[in-house]
Structure 1
């Protein structure tokens, strides 16, 4: 069965290639636009994100709109076969607004109102800010909603941050009243009897503050949820202000700052997901660890809507805000850009097209350097990639056939980081998730990154590292998944609290206890210099043997039906279970009671993937630092073999009928992969 999504825009039925473009910075020099269009065509760029921070150029004083320059840019694009994601400019308001309406500026956690400046320094709740954004957005939509160069709306820029002003305090109280109904219910959910912090009036409730309430975990969790909901509401407000002119235009917003917002909720109001990726390449002997973590985020953003996404920002060379501004080594621009395509992107776009002459990002990488011409290494790399993207447009709209999934919830992430134990020196939640994902990445296993509310059916393997916040509903759904024949992998620090960050009573891992067949009695945080070990027992169903190092966390568990596969080697709980497997219904559930290193995870997942017959991109041994990913339309499989190892590698093909994607030349035997090399192949989707 063919499963292929239509192009994001019918105007541009090819892979998108382009950049953030800021012509408003160059209005003093009309020759720049003409030269930029020449260079865009030379680089094979077909789309630009425009107007992201252009509010002051579009409305230099309140109610006075100056659209002529944007008319000229978009008309020039249309005449030259270039398209635009037209941005709403709310990411940075003009100075006249901050001066006239100071309420639009954010108030910090310390209850101090910000001065004018920087980006994202605005209150999403402010009636004035909402009114002024609706006005500028509506004017843009009316003027450009049917412009032939415009393919969609880029809503604001990298939403993030919070505001603690009076408007937001009132909105937070209203949100809590809607959720809990009564103060009694709120006090019970937040366990406010601790430290006698019981509320007797809604007016007493405020957002967390460094000089006030900040240690009530349910309070902190609900504030994060409120900030997400308020941000989503503002994004919906912006979308509504541009939709009426042309409802057919898709909307997106570029995601990047995962710390505060639950992107699954934001995804619900968008037509297409886009994100900004800036890995710090070449910070070590090889790039495989960073490549694997970058792949995790590509998988996460693709999974938000289970369809192709957009790489909206990346750098063609270096950044200027990371600790070290490292250049991309030869081959890395092509490799890292096509990595995004391999994991489901239908675009490669950059920040930025032309380097700013001044201010904070004047040294940030760009397609066009301060030299202003095409005779640079970076431009040649971009142009070469543009040709490749033009040659492989058959990939557009294809899907990723994942039979494995990582469970990653924002609620859980917030709660884990707020837990105050068992290792306040670093429990390393994200690093743990990345390491489990990496073990599958090394095998070339396509992986979705899902939430607890997503559909579990269709997966053979679900991995849920540190599922600390696990609701009764999630526990029931995972139990049904295993009972129905699925394989679940969990770790220590799982099934500890409910949706209010209140501990499950009756024994951990709470709602997972029956599925895992264990009771977790105690958990110990280890100092950085402490070590324990996992010794695998003979004849275990994984077929593994030996002893592996354990560190950071050791959970003391008792079996309640589970089979012990491995035991601790040290401390007073030596010989007690450290790795278990519970056969439950038609499926099975593994539990790692301690934090284990990549050598064990690699061996473990190799065995589990084989045991469960979970699909891989290629049925062959992949050298360390080399991975394979797959996209398919149901008839043709497109396979990307990528070398992040830092050295030349060879990969034996698995015997299926492969050909080179760009040239159709047949491939067989052994692939030769250069340093930072990538091979693009296709084969029939079915054996």
Structure 2
């Protein structure tokens, strides 16, 4: 539970009354009551107002704001305001400004323009966090502390270059170790002094987004950049904790955000919060996957949905309205996947600048007679009805998908074999095979405990870190089923190839040896020809992009290639290992193949869906104290009927009797309660 002060799902969002006059604020408070709003995130971008110069602070406006919200029954998620430094700071201390990848020093403007290794930024951001903690440490309205906002970006200034060398010394200790890790004997890059090392940028080893001459160096810069921003967060976190030891502290993450290793960040966060902004055409399975990732980085704990739009966004190419019912539907989807809050950006629309067309609970018209407000208020009323019923319930999964930021960075910085390989797309393909059947999945890191799972899938496990192969062998030896794919087991954690044959340390577990990998043009396809049926998986299926040419070393061949000079070579293998099995998929199969194979393996392991539902109807489950809460989410534009058979359920949002089937309205959501035993 996020806070015992309000035993229900918190409902609210970002609020910026500093942009408005007092009369408007009073009107907002009345509208908040109508909408059921009970939490507001404030002070996110108010550093310039809080600190007009180097020595003076002015928090009186914030005192009045927090007090007025609290008197209206609204709690505060208090941000530290450090997401955008003041103009005076940039003018007086230009070291706070970032330098881009082309070596250009930024000027004041935008946001996230602070160098994470600037001594000035670290000094003043820590100081204001301390002052806020001291001022509000005993205020009863504060339930969550919010450090900065949506960390991201990169910097290539001299401070970062010096800090990078320090980071490298800690990681490698000696230049010999570093030279070995980066393979600097290639192209005569051997370093004899730490100060010879420069940042990999468009002025040195890189060009564009992911092109680099030295993958090991660029990979380490990605790690360093993520760690640098994490250190900034940690400084503010520690400043608050020193004064308010019981504080619940977070910062808002962004799902599949490539620059930051959220598994590392999660270890320093008291609760995960994240901002969910799918487009109208974003697959609902991808949104579900992002929720499951945000739950997975903190060992399955409930998370905060910190931001979503009530309807329209402003920064996508095409900012469509959320259709009637979709805001409620996507809110409950977040809860179904582990959210214990529903919050928006924003509570009132800005009048100017780049977010003036970003949706809000209170639109520019300024009153309650809008579709968006009515839908928001209706959801607020439902959350009051639910009370604490769903809080602290958990999701139980027998399937895990391994996800690793280092692996993501390394794959997409690789100089081959194809530019078509996108790590997250591969993760989504395998996740969707389970999502479409309502089989719940945890998205976990390579350091996670795998013992609770029956099935672990690691698509494109290009990088095998120390100890991971042993962990996967132990998991399989004990009866688990492990599945991986082409382009796996290629390198270690410094992006050096594991010599002796692919897939490196996974070779014994998989019982195969990969001799070559063919990269197909986008117009080229091959075939997966099944040797024997696996359940409904039978016949021929298309494959492409990459094709591993492999030989078996004990593994059973279940399918072969149907074309090209490697026609007849294995493309799908299964290796018995101890009490378990290890599967290898040697090419990028079409959706029907992946779906059929994942269904066969799950059925073989006795892994069952939450419910069987029509296409487009998602079924999820959270459990608590012997009770299960089944979420039925109809993503279709027409009503659908779900068969419940003999499952005895209670509809938590509708007092009417639930029989052997239930109709879910178009874009509707139903939450059912039933007894549960795992």
TM bracket, shorter-chain basis: over 0.9
Provide the C-alpha distance between the structure 1 equivalents of 2:295 and 2:533, rounded to a whole number of angstroms.
39
Distance 1:391 1:514 in 2: 55
Aligned to 1:3: none
Q: 2:97 aligned with 1:92, yes or no? A: no
Deviation of 1:623 (Å): 2.1
1:158 to 139, 150, 163: 150
Q: Distance in 2 between matches of 1:563 and 1:60?
A: 70
1:201 to 190, 193, 201: 193
Q: Once the two structures are superposed, what CA deviation does each residue of 1:70-113 show, in whole Å capped at 9, x if it has no partner?
A: 11111111211100110011110111111111111111122221
Distance 1:668 1:607 in 2: 31
C-alpha distance in structure 2 between counterparts of 1:52 and 1:588, whole Å: 50
Structure 1: which 5+ residue stretches go unaligned? Answer: 1-6, 284-288
Pairing 1:314–2:313 present = no
Secondary structure, aligned partner of 1:641:
strand
User: Which position in structure 1 is the counterpart of 2:610?
Assistant: 617
> How far apart, CA to CA, are the structure 2 residues paired with 1:83 and 1:512?
51
CA distance, structure 1, for counterparts of residue 662 and residue 376 of structure 2: 25
1:641 is the counterpart of 2:625: no
| Cα shift readout 1:581-616 (whole Å, capped 9, x = no counterpart) | 111111111111110122122222222111111243
- Report how far residue 665 of structure 1 moved: 4.0
2:402 is aligned, of 384, 407, 420, to 407
Residues 402 and 615, structure 1, Cα contact 8 Å, conserved in 2: no
Note the alpha carbon deviations across 1:27-46, whole angstroms, 9 max, x for none.
Answer: xx211111111111111111
* Structure 2 Cα separation of the partners of residues 518 and 676 of structure 1: 47
Q: Distance in 1 between matches of 2:528 and 2:618?
A: 28
Please state whether the residue corresponding to 1:72 is helix, strand or coil.
helix
Would you say the 8 A contact 2:44–2:148 is kept in 1?
Answer: yes
The corresponding residue for 1:348 is 342
Alpha-carbon displacement from aligned partner over 1:611-668 (angstroms, at most 9, x marks no partner): 11124322x3x22222211101141100111122443322211422111122454422
| Alpha-carbon separation, structure 2, partners of 1:229 and 1:428 | 24
Q: Cα deviation per residue 1:45-69 (whole Å; 9 max; x = unaligned)?
A: 1101100001111112222222111
Mapped partners of 1:667, 1:515: distance in 2: 48
2:283 and 2:83 map into 1 onto residues whose CA distance is 29
SS in 1 for 2:572: strand
What does 1:505-516 correspond to in 2, within 5 Å? Answer: 505-516=499-510
Structure 2: runs of 5+ lacking an equivalent: 207-212
In the alignment, which residue of structure 2 is the partner of 1:657?
Answer: 648
Instruction: State the match for 2:273 in structure 1.
Output: 274
2:238 aligned partner: 240
Q: Find the counterpart in structure 2 of residue 112 from structure 1.
A: 104
Structure 1 residue 670 displacement after superposition:
2.1
Aligned to 2:119: 127
Aligned-partner SS, 1:228: helix
1:213 is aligned to 205
Q: Aligned equivalents of 1:339 and 1:250: distance in 2?
A: 25
Greater Cα offset, 224-233 or 489-498:
224-233
For residues 558 and 668 of structure 1, the distance between their equivalents in structure 2, rounded to whole angstroms, comes to 55
1:244 aligned counterpart, secondary structure: helix
Question: Any residues of structure 2 matched to 1:264-663 within 5 Å, and which?
Answer: 264-281=263-280, 283=281, 290-305=283-298, 306-392=300-386, 393-424=388-419, 426-540=420-534, 542=535, 544-618=537-611, 620=612, 622-663=613-654
Q: Is the 8 A contact 1:472 1:511 kept in 2?
A: no
Q: Take 2:71 and 2:601, find their aligned partners in 1: how far apart are those partners?
A: 55
Query: 1:633–1:664: structure 2 CA closer, same or farther, 3 Å change rule?
Result: farther
Does residue 140 of the first structure (1) align with residue 132 of the second (2)? yes
Alignment of 1:1-150 (within 5 A): 7-26=1-20, 29-150=21-142
Displacement of 1:228 in angstroms is 1.5
Number of equivalent positions: 669
**Contact map agreement 1:317 1:366 (CA 8 A) in 2:** yes
Deviations 1:401-444 (A, max 9, x none): 011111000000000001121112x2122111101001111111
For residue 210 of structure 2, what is the aligned residue in structure 1?
A: none
Q: Deviations over 1:253-280 (max 9, x none)?
A: 0011611110111111110000001000
- Post-superposition Cα deviations, 1:501-533, rounded to whole Å, max 9, x if no partner, equal 001111111111111111111111111111111
Contact 1:88 1:155 in 2 (8 A): yes
8 Å Cα contact 1:20/1:353 also seen in 2: yes
CA spacing shift, 1:243–1:565, aligned 2, 3 Å:
same
**TM-score, normalised relative to structure 2:** 0.97
- Whether 1:179 and 2:171 are equivalent positions in the alignment is yes
Decide which moves more: 258-267 or 609-618.
609-618
SS at match of 1:614: coil
Indicate the RMSD between aligned Cα atoms, in angstroms: 1.3
Q: Distance in 2 between matches of 1:490 and 1:656?
A: 36
Q: Which moved more, 1:670-679 or 1:294-303?
A: 670-679
Of residues 359-368 and 464-473 in structure 1, the stretch that sits farther from structure 2 once superposed is 464-473
